Each structure stands twice: as C-alpha cells, then as structure tokens.
C-alpha cells in the first residue's frame, strides 16, 4: 500500500477517524503513517497491516478485530466503534468504503506515475488469462494482479490497494453476479485495456439469462475512451458485437483469420499445447505452452494481445506464456504419476463451456491404449438451463467415447441419465451420491496409465476428491 497518514486514509474511506486514549498512549496520532497490506481476513494480518471488518452472509468480521490487533494490525476499519489500542476508522459500510479507498489509491498512483490498467472479464478464463498476463508483464515492470479469483466488490479493491508508487501495471480481474457490478469496478480503476473473453452460460441462473449476462459483460467496454483499447474475442459472436458498443479502438484475438492476434498450427498433447502466435505487426512466433487444454490457447491469445497493446516485446510475450505451467490451482492441474496414472483436477469452477472443453481435452490427449475416466459433478448457477446443460454434457461424454463416467451428486444426475440413454456407447456410467463413494470406485479399479478427469463447480467440492485421488497415485505417495 502507499504511505498514507491516518487522516488521509479516513478521508479516502469517507469515514471517521477514532483514536482512543489507549491508542493515543501507544503513540498514534492523525499524522501516523500506515503502509501495510489491507485485508478482510484476520488470519492474513501481520505487523503494520490494515484490517477491514466486513459483515458476511455467515459471519461478521467485527468478531475478529481483537485477533487482527493481536497479529499486529496498525489500523482497523469498522462499522461501529470498538475499544482498541490502535486507531480505527468508522464507516457506514465496510465494502463500500473499500471501494472508495481503492479508487483514491488508484488515482494517486496514476497521478504520480505511469500506471497502466488492464481489466479482464468473461464467462470463462478470467483467472487463467490474468495469470498469463501477469507472467508476461512482470518481465518488463512491477505488476500487481489478484491472488486466486479475487474479482468481486471485495477482492478487486483489495488487489488495487496493493499498488505502490513504482507499480507499472495493474491487472484487474473483474467478475460479476449482476448488472452494474463491472461498471462499479471499472469506476474504481478505469482500464486502459479492456479484455472480454467469452459470454456463455456460466452463472446464467444468477444473471437471469444470457442476454443479461451479455449486457453485464459489455460494461467492460462501454466506459472506455477513444485512446483506450478493447481486446475482444473475434470467435465469440456475442463478444464481437461489443465492438459497436465502445468508443475505444478494437484489437481482435482468436483463431479466425480476421483476428490480428491469432494462433495457427495448434497441437494439443498430454504435456501441453504448441502453437504459432501471430501478432499485429505480421510477426509469427512458435510457443510451447505448458498449460493443458487447447481451450487455454484462447486465454493465451487474449493475454498476448493485451501485452502487445502495452508495448511488451514479442520475446517477452512468448517467454511469459511459456513459463506458466498450470492455469491455477484446481484448474486443469495435472497430478499423480505413479504407474503412469494421470489426474487432471479441474474442479474449481465449471460451466457448460469449460466442462465441454475439459472433456474434449482428455479425448484429444489420450493415447489409443489409454483408458479415460470422467468424474463429474454439478455445474452450479445455471438456473432454468441446468437440466438441459447437464443432459448435453452427458451426451458429450458418449460422443467423445470416454471409457468410464462417474457422476457425483444429485445436482449432476442428468449427466448420468443422458449418458445412459445415448445409444451405441461401449463405456460405463455410474451415479453415486458422495465423493467418498466416487473415491472408492476409482481406487477399486484404477489401472496403470489411466487418465482421470475430475470436473465440477466449486460448490460440489470435487476439487478435494481430485486431490485425494492424485495423492493416492502420486510418485512416492500412499493410498489414503
């Protein structure tokens, strides 16, 4: 965080600075400078940090103020006064105050330096693209990007508050569960480059339909100015239509010949994907991309396009892409290895598009002699599309000739039913209620060189099942 006085922080938060007698006795005053990390998780607070007490759906951060102070917090942000030996800033709403604070810090860094901001949104691929772009930009300057999937009204501001006077690039992952949320994030940190990856059925139930999803994702480009650049997916018709909704310049990426940043000669294997990257200057560059799954090439193209706009040399774009070995924890993460057994744990998020891409990946990379198993759980937040889309995935398992399907949980039962009703399939479909049952089935019949995909939405909890299977088949591991 920037070096700011308590008075400056209180003004930014639009709150009231309270320094109790105990805090004053400890040496605090309105002129005290604070520059620690800002967080809403008291477990992550250290010496000199700022703890923001946020009310949540299931808990209240005010219960952990004491723990944060014991851990070394130099300042707490609260919605009601508490008796503390450190300063506190009292605000009406902690989440709104975080946004005010982030807006102020971004404005200060912009005014004093050469900060460039990239905003990334889309129904799928945001976190992977963010990680790839960070790997590229870090090669040429100080870069701030979110940890994990910090892309909402809390996570995005916390990332922005990590800016320093020497930060050159901010990569802001911007997610939403409803209209107006991306606009709110953009107004904290307006991008110089706005990236839109896809518009699909992920979270369509929450949004209320695909048209609302489209309108929400379009918010990324609507506030861009003529000197900004919208990096858009030429192969997604809904994203391509956003070119008419922005005043910014448009840079297309995709597999289409009309995309200025595109990939050719794509070759997906079990060790990654190789392709030739074409840039707008007419140059072509061979890329050996270690992230598993042909679908991640599109994320690589989006990251390459954004980096090109920011003036990053092609050699750094390629080396940045090649240094990343996995999309993210629990995203197409290759694990295991003992007796040739490979587990692809992709159970952090799931939408119809990402589920289809994962199934296509194991079908593509499996050798003719290799047995494939798909362990699939529910795709959440699909609303009225849920049964139809789970049914479609079950039929896709058959079309890709996956050898064994294990469906976990009542929410995913339609996958199992669809696979069973699809004709002329020599594979096997099994339905179980729990992850423990799925684990027992896997361990009772795992053969050398098996390729096992574990895929579901985060809420289904199958990422831990993926870890458990992988641990049982890790090199030197023990069966649980």
Quickly list DSSP for 382-451. Answer: -GGGHHHHHHHHHHHHHHTT-SEEEEESGGGHHHHHHHHHSSS--SEEEEESSHHHHHHHHHHT--TT-E
180 Cβ neighbours under 8 A, 6+ residues apart: 216, 219
Contact 10, 17 (CB under 8 A): yes
Residue 480 in this model has a pLDDT that exceeds 50? no
- Would you state the pLDDT for residue 384? 87
> What rounded mean pLDDT belongs to the chain?
92
240 Cβ neighbours under 8 A, 6+ residues apart: 232, 233, 234, 252
CATH class of the 333-472 domain in this structure = alpha beta
Contact 109, 2 (CB under 8 A): yes
- Would you state the pLDDT for residue 348? 86
What's the CATH fold of domain 4-92?
Answer: 3.40.1390
For the chain, percent of residues with pLDDT exceeding 90:
79
Task: Give backbone dihedrals phi and psi of 410, rounded to 5 degrees, phi first.
Answer: -60, -35
Point out which residues pair with 333 in neighbouring strands: 345
Give the three-class secondary structure for 188. helix
Distance of alpha carbon 73 from alpha carbon 385, whole angstroms:
46
Q: To which H or E segment does residue 330 belong?
A: none
- Would you state the pLDDT for residue 56? 80
Beta strands in 156-221 (DSSP E): 169-173, 193-196
Task: Report pLDDT digits (tens) over 71-120.
Answer: 999 999 999 998 889 999 999 999 999 999 999 999 999 998 899 999 99
Residue 430: CB atoms within 10 Å: 16
**How many helices (H) and strands (E) in the chain?**
17, 22
**Of the candidate ranges 122-136, 185-199, 316-330, the one whose mean pLDDT is the lowest:** 316-330
Query: In terms of CATH architecture, what is 97-323?
Result: 3-Layer(aba) Sandwich (3.40)
Going from the C-alpha of 17 to that of each of 10, 54, 75, 249, the distances in angstroms are 6, 17, 10, 44
Residue 62 is classified by DSSP as: G
Binding site for ATP: which residues?
122-128
Residue 219: CB atoms within 10 Å: 24
Contact 151, 178 (CB under 8 A): no
Altogether, the residues listed in the chain come to a count of 480
Q: What mean pLDDT is predicted for residues 161-170?
A: 96
- Would you state the pLDDT for residue 236? 95
Task: Report pLDDT digits (tens) over 415-452.
Answer: 999 999 886 677 789 999 999 999 999 999 999 999 99
Contact 235, 228 (CB under 8 A): no
- Edge-to-edge strand ranges of the sheet holding 50-52: 16-18, 88-90, 75-78, 50-52, 38-39
**Of the candidate ranges 250-254, 345-349, 359-363, the one whose mean pLDDT is the lowest:** 345-349
- Quote the tokens at residue 92: 């009406």
- Would you state the pLDDT for residue 256? 95
Return the higher-pLDDT residue of 385 and 35. 35
Distance of alpha carbon 75 from alpha carbon 19, whole angstroms:
10
- Would you state the pLDDT for residue 470? 93
Q: What mean pLDDT is predicted for residues 297-311?
A: 97
Contact 354, 124 (CB under 8 A): yes
159 Cβ neighbours under 8 A, 6+ residues apart: 144, 145, 146, 147, 150, 170, 172, 173
Distance of alpha carbon 87 from alpha carbon 100, whole angstroms:
19
Contact 183, 194 (CB under 8 A): no
Task: Report pLDDT digits (tens) over 364-419.
Answer: 999 999 999 999 999 998 888 899 999 999 999 999 999 999 999 999 999 999 99
Confidence band, pLDDT 50/70/90 cuts, at residue 202: low
Residue 479 in this model has a pLDDT that exceeds 60? no
212 Cβ neighbours under 8 A, 6+ residues apart: 178, 179
Distance of alpha carbon 275 from alpha carbon 288, whole angstroms:
7
Contact 224, 246 (CB under 8 A): yes
Q: Do domains 97-323 and 333-472 have the same CATH topology?
A: no
Point out which residues pair with 451 in neighbouring strands: 342, 372
CA-based R_g, the chain, Å: 24
Distance of alpha carbon 475 from alpha carbon 375, whole angstroms:
22
- Would you state the pLDDT for residue 163? 96
Residue 478 in this model has a pLDDT that exceeds 60? no
Task: Report pLDDT digits (tens) over 204-225.
Answer: 555 567 888 899 999 999 999 9
Q: What mean pLDDT is predicted for residues 273-290?
A: 96
- Where do the domains of the chain lie? 4-92, 97-323, 333-472
Q: How many CA atoms lie within 13 A of 341 on its CB side?
A: 23
Confidence band, pLDDT 50/70/90 cuts, at residue 456: very high
Q: Quick one: 285 exposed, middle or buried, by C-beta within 10 A (0-12, 13-18, 19+)? A: middle
- Would you state the pLDDT for residue 167? 97
Binding site: which residues?
122-128
């Amino acid at each position: 965080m920037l070096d700011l006085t308590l008075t400056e922080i209180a003004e930014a938060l639009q709150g009231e600075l309270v320094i109790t007698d105990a805090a004053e006795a400890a040496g605090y005053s309105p002129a005290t400078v604070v520059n620690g990390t800002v967080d809403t998780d008291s477990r992550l607070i250290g010496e000199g940090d700022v703890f923001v007490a946020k009310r949540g759906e299931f808990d209240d951060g005010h219960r952990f103020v004491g723990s944060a102070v014991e851990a070394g917090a130099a300042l707490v942000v609260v919605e009601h006064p508490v008796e503390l030996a450190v300063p506190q800033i009292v605000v009406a709403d902690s989440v709104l105050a975080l946004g005010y604070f982030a807006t102020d810090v971004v404005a200060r860094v912009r005014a004093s330096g050469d900060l460039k901001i990239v905003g990334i949104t889309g129904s799928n691929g945001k976190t992977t693209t963010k990680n790839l772009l960070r790997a590229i930009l870090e090669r040429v300057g100080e870069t701030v990007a979110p940890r994990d999937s910090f892309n909402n009204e809390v996570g995005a501001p916390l990332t922005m508050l990590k800016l320093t006077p020497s930060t050159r690039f901010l990569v802001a992952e911007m997610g939403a569960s409803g209209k107006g949320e991306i606009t709110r994030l953009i107004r904290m940190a307006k991008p110089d480059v706005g990236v839109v990856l896809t518009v699909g059925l992920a979270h369509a139930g929450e949004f209320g339909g695909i048209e609302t999803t489209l309108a929400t994702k379009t918010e990324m480009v609507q506030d861009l100015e003529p000197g900004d650049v919208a990096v858009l997916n030429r192969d997604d018709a809904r994203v391509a239509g956003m070119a008419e909704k922005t005043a910014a310049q448009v840079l297309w990426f995709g597999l289409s010949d009309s995309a200025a940043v595109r990939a050719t000669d794509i070759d997906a294997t079990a060790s990654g994907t190789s392709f030739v990257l074409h840039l707008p200057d007419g140059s072509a560059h061979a890329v050996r991309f270690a992230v598993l799954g042909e679908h991640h090439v599109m994320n690589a193209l989006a990251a390459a396009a954004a980096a090109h706009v920011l003036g990053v040399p092609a050699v750094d774009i390629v080396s940045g892409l090649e240094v990343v070995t996995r999309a993210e924890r629990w995203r197409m993460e290759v694990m295991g290895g003992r007796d040739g057994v490979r587990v692809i744990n992709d159970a952090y998020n799931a939408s119809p598009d990402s589920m289809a891409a994962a199934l296509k990946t194991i079908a593509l990379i499996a050798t003719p002699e290799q047995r494939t198993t798909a362990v699939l759980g529910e795709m959440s937040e699909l609303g009225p599309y849920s049964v139809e889309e789970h049914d479609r995935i079950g039929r896709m398992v058959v079309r890709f000739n996956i050898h064994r399907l294990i469906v976990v949980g009542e929410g995913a039962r339609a996958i199992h039913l669809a696979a069973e009703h699809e004709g002329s399939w020599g594979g096997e479909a099994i339905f179980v209620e729990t992850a423990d049952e799925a684990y027992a089935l896997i361990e009772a019949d795992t053969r050398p060189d098996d390729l096992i995909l574990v895929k579901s939405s985060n809420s289904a909890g199958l990422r831990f099942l993926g870890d458990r299977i992988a641990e049982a088949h890790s090199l030197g591991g023990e069966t649980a």
